[in-house]
Chains A and B, each alone.
Chain A
């Protein structure tokens, strides 16, 4: 049987990999605002999905936790959008 900490490690590794890929894409497309806004949206969505799936796999997903990931994902998007919009 798989240890719970192993599962956690895999899930965090997925999040870290996503963060590294998105950071590299951000750097590569740093002069293309259209692509950066798209990437901001994708990264926020990816974070929300990761959060929901992670808690669902843990068996502790609630509406409140899902809402928390949605609002934090939205905050992350707006932080980027406020700068990229100008």
Chain B
């Protein structure tokens, strides 16, 4: 009210006092629109209001962190990852690099499943387990005698393509994926609860058998793929080997299970929270630009258009670029 002086100001106040509803309407409207007299933004765009939005977002992020500890499995990462797609995308990348395609091997697949189950059981996300078990221990445990072996891990991804793309974006994972030293591959796509969040772990194991004649046949690959037709599979205890049957050709026992979906997809939830806050502030800024221009209001503030441009860019990035997946 500082710009209104003397008689004019007192007349306006006098008129308003006679019409309390007008005051209420004026006050309400200027929660959303700039104040022409005070030359400032809408109340809901004030510095104080923006600080409140920041605190609210922090609180919501805190709830998303605490909730899985109180009610495990409610929040999680929905996914639609299939072994067949992972194998296809991996081999496409290898073909593009002029390398031979990898054949799906049952022993490496079984080792990958055991690794994924072990990570869920002992709640770790690492190549080496807390008790010191290395990836090679899982591979050797399947009597896969190798010259070269490697492991890639991924979690929280929505789809198979993103998993392979993420590995390709990381130099060490790309090195494994495009290594000419491997002939065979095994995948595990396993659902479970990690640190309270329902998620999907992907384990990719590479190998070259010491005996080249042991490289998986097309028949073996098809058999493994059939068993992996479901996006998720749980490994049960291996049945005792029959005497005289070499372990390397024995097949692991998989029990296909329906993919588990979390009650709340944490990716969608966090993206929605950011989009709602960003969208709300962005809409108010857009209203500010339009109203100030039509009413010729020159405010003593920062550049609204710059704030709006940055906000649009951020919300678009959040919605279209960010993915929840992590590779290791």
Contact = CB atoms under 8 A, between A and B. Distances in A.
A74 B306 CA distance: 15
Given A51-B306, A65-B302, A72-B302, A86 B324 contact: yes
Contacts, number: 107
B contact residues, range: 35 or more
A27 B326 CA distance: 15
Contacts of A31: 162, 165-166, 169-170, 323, 325-327
A80 B57 CA distance: 10
Interface in A38-80: 47, 51, 54-55, 60, 62, 64-65, 67-69, 71-72, 74-76, 78-80
A57 to B, nearest CB: 13
B126 to A, nearest CB: 16
Contacts of A86: 64, 266-267, 270, 324
A83 B322 contact: yes
Interface stretch (B114-122, B141-149, B180-188, B311-319): B311-319
16 contacts: A29-B169, A31-B166, A31-B169, A55-B302, A64-B301, A65-B302, A71-B54, A75-B281, A76-B310, A76-B311, A78-B54, A79-B57, A80-B314, A82-B57, A83-B271, A83-B322
Interface of A: 12, 15, 19, 23, 26-33, 36, 47, 51, 54-55, 60, 62, 64-65, 67-69, 71-72, 74-76, 78-86
Interface of B: 47, 50-51, 53-54, 57-58, 60-61, 64-65, 162, 165-166, 169-170, 266-267, 270-271, 273-274, 277-278, 281, 300-303, 306-307, 309-311, 313-315, 317-318, 321-327
